[in-house]
Amino acid sequence: MVLALLVATPLRAQTGSASDVMARAERAYRDLEFDVAASTLRRVLAPPLAAELDDSARARALAYLGAAEHYRGQSDSAIAVFRRLVELAPEAQPDTLVFPPEVTDLYHTVRRSMTVVAVRPRPDTVPARTPPPPPPPPPPPPPVAPVQARRPAQAEAGAPVSVTVTVAGLITNVRTGSIAATAAGFESSVQFRRVALAVRYAEGGHDLVEGSVALRFMPTSWFSLQAGPHARRYTTLSGPERLVTWRLGGRGDFALVGSSVRGHAMLWRALALAVNVPPGSGSGSATGGEVGVTLDLGPRPVWFALAYGIDQAQVKAASWRANVNTLTLTAGIRRR
């Protein structure tokens, strides 16, 4: 018995209380580590940590778990979690300051589908009943149990941080005032928590070559900022034209149909501009935008995207202007 207590004490300190584990789960969610957040939240909602949570804390954990499952692409699990949340606290709802509209909309859809069942047990005319007392604590484990239970706790503390890698092929159609060309290429990105690095390259007819590098920062799961160089070169009847811009922009992502069909909109502005016509760099301006839709094939890592973009650039001193329209089809795979 003494040996069990001595071993269980450091194990308890390593594992942490329910509030500590919940804080780690929320931190993982904010860092876009949805796999880690989901596994940690399921742990805090299971015995013995679940006995330390009151109804409000349990509802908060379920809201985070439903959102994490949604962003993991597990729509059925997200719906099941939100059903549990409605049954536990029909009047509660995910905080709109924490969760984006696609999560709160999914919750309200689930709630509407079971409003009658969820609200009937708790009408306003019936006084709230005192919850039953908690069950007595379990007896202390045998001496060998803490040694066997130490491994999961250590595995969680040293759990690998997920890195998301995306590789895709693309076909883009580029139209300017002087050419219309089709190019093929690739794009790839590596994401670690809130930061991602993306690379894109394509080439095709009319000596069209296009490439970009972008560093992205995602303060939330539905909005990102990005910055980096973009270059495009093609040949017209009057000779080659080359445009290099250093872009700063923002992109918003939103759900269209569940978690499988998503849309996005992006706007950017050039911080610097270089063209191969006089007077050259720093004498013009460029802006642009893009809208698109992405189809994610559920548990499979395959996705397809279609995007339409418009770029406008001008050099006032040289009376040079370029309006570029692009239509891009992308197919890729995503691995965590």
pLDDT tens for 29-63 read 888 888 898 999 999 899 888 888 888 888 999 99
Angle at 109 between CA 50 and CA 251, to 5 degrees: 95
* pTM recorded for the entire structure: 0.61
Residue 290: is its pLDDT beyond 90? yes
Residue 331: is its pLDDT beyond 80? yes
pLDDT digits (tens, 9 = 90+) for 54-99: 888 889 999 999 999 888 888 888 899 989 989 888 888 888 888 8
Residue 117: is its pLDDT beyond 50? no
For the range 194-199, what are the long-range contacts, defined as Cβ-Cβ under 8 Å and sequence gap of 24 or more?
194/31, 194/32, 194/218, 194/219, 196/164, 196/224, 198/226
| pLDDT reported for residue 178 | 78
Query: How many C-beta atoms surround the C-beta of residue 124 within 10 A?
Result: 6
For the range 76-79, what are the long-range contacts, defined as Cβ-Cβ under 8 Å and sequence gap of 24 or more?
78/106, 78/259, 79/106, 79/110
The tokens describing 193, both together, are: 């928590």
pLDDT digits (tens, 9 = 90+) for 146-157: 444 444 444 344
Residue 99 CA to its chain's centroid (Å): 12
